[in-house]
Amino acid sequence: MSGSNRLRMRRAALVAVATLSLISACSSSPSSTASGGTGAASADAKPLVIGASVSLTGDFADPGKAVKAGYELWADQVNAKGGILGRKVELKIVDDTSSPTQVVTNYQNLINQDKVDLVFGPFSSLLTVPASQVAKRYGYAFLEPAGGGPAVFAQKLDNLFFVQPAPVVKSGDIFADWILSLPAADRPKTAAYAELDDPFSAPIAESIRARFEAAGITTVYKEVYPAETQDFSPIMSKVAAANPDVLVSGTQSEDAYAQVKSLVQLKFSPKFMFMSNGANSPVEFPSKVGTANTAGIMSAGDWFPGSTATGAADFAAAYIKAYGGTADTIDNSSAEAYAAGQLLEEVAAKTGKIDNATIISTLHQGTWPTVLGDLKWDSIGQPEGAFHLVQWQNGSLVPVYPTAIAKAPAMYPKPSWGG
């Protein structure tokens, strides 16, 4: 290789390296946040330091930031009330760039170097699995608001608590409960299933399908589609051709919007429609599919605006004060992260202690009220409750089942598109 050739080669490599570093410089800014509450915590008491690794960059950056917002909001509130057992809560939040290896490093550093007192979980099951292993090794309780996939519970960890009402695969069961609670004449006779090939989507629809088939609702169409699917017209034309009474979609986000748009274009509106995720997004969903097209679509949720669960009103007010917006724009992930903090307060109030062994043994017993409703867990951290059934009515998400928390009766059959 000639000298000038080598020089040019190096220049090309430099461009590539410069580009890469420019990008990473622009997008990654690891932050560590100490919460600035001004509570009545006694000055001499040692602060209670809680570490968490959250995705602030990478694939999970947006939901990761919502989790961070929830943790910080809780810390500010608890400090305003004087902290936990007189100790001021200090958060140490680090960025894991959505990477399963970085998350391990982060928790090892938080526990071994920073010697944090407690830890909270990261975002996604992908990151919760390796992170919870680290916590287990050092005997830390692992309250995690965003890792509810089968892989998390397959580890059978006794220190883990998933802070949501039910494991992900069972989050749609409330829809089956509701359908089967209807008078026999009103129930759908035929069903179609369109499922994203993903551990957080297809199993939800499959769980509903098992219940429906056992109850005699005939499956007229089922398709599992890969994550790369862009055009839903072919799938939705087949759904329309099968003409089911109910369409159950195991969706994530973009695929849910695309399914609705395709159905509108095909002018096919089933009598009942449930989407596991995507349709429960209070802001994105109506903006992507058009508010008029949301009417009657159902989904599952835990926190919702106007909830009367423990602390929910305070949470909503504080959230709006801190971050702006309205109750309708609060991300579920923030509420779930906030609930993890509430649990710590309740354990401390009940036992008078706040250490990992106490948290682990205490949370395994009894029922715990949070902004998400009452939570309880089995021996491996699977929540034993149920999500709420929510439905789009007049442009907002309304809880419609179970009856005890319903704000309005469920509307059926679903109106046709555009109103």
Give contact residues for another protein (rule: CB under 8 A).
4-5, 8-9, 11-13, 15-16, 19-20, 22-23, 26-27, 59, 61-62, 197, 223-226, 228-231, 233-235, 237-238, 241, 253-254, 257-258, 261, 264-267, 287-290, 293, 417
Q: Hey, what are 11's tokens?
A: 């220049």
Q: Which helix (H) or strand (E) holds 128?
A: helix 125-137
Rg of the chain taking only CA atoms, in angstroms? 23
Question: Considering beta carbons, is residue 61 or 111 the nearer one to another protein?
Answer: 61
Question: Considering beta carbons, is residue 161 or 257 the nearer one to another protein?
Answer: 257
Q: Taking the complex as a whole, how short is the minimal distance between the CB of residue 249 and another protein, in angstroms?
A: 14
Using CA atoms, how far apart are residues 13 and 7, in angstroms rounded to an integer?
10
Residue 111: what are its φ and ψ, rounded to 5°? -80, -45
Q: Taking the complex as a whole, how short is the minimal distance between the CB of residue 276 and another protein, in angstroms?
A: 18
Question: Considering beta carbons, is residue 67 or 217 the nearer one to another protein?
Answer: 67
Strand (E) positions, 23-120?
48-54, 89-95, 118-120
- Cβ-defined contacts of 391-394 (< 8 Å, 24+): 391/296, 391/297, 391/298, 391/299, 392/279, 392/285, 392/286, 392/294, 392/295, 392/296, 392/297, 392/298, 393/295, 393/296, 394/295
Q: Taking the complex as a whole, how short is the minimal distance between the CB of residue 328 and another protein, in angstroms?
A: 18
Question: Considering beta carbons, is residue 90 or 195 the nearer one to another protein?
Answer: 195
Q: Taking the complex as a whole, how short is the minimal distance between the CB of residue 252 and another protein, in angstroms?
A: 11
Question: Considering beta carbons, is residue 174 or 289 the nearer one to another protein?
Answer: 289
**Cβ distance 54 to 96 under 8 Å?**
yes
DSSP string, 346-369: HHHHHHS--SHHHHHHHHTSS-EE
Q: Taking the complex as a whole, how short is the minimal distance between the CB of residue 187 and another protein, in angstroms?
A: 28
Burial (CB count <10 Å: 0-12, 13-18, 19+), residue 254: middle
Question: Considering beta carbons, is residue 132 or 262 the nearer one to another protein?
Answer: 262
**Cβ distance 300 to 175 under 8 Å?**
yes
Which residue(s) pair with 275 in the sheet? 249
Question: Considering beta carbons, is residue 59 or 328 the nearer one to another protein?
Answer: 59
Q: Taking the complex as a whole, how short is the minimal distance between the CB of residue 259 and another protein, in angstroms?
A: 12
| β-pair type (246-250, 218-225) | unpaired
Q: Taking the complex as a whole, how short is the minimal distance between the CB of residue 87 and another protein, in angstroms?
A: 36
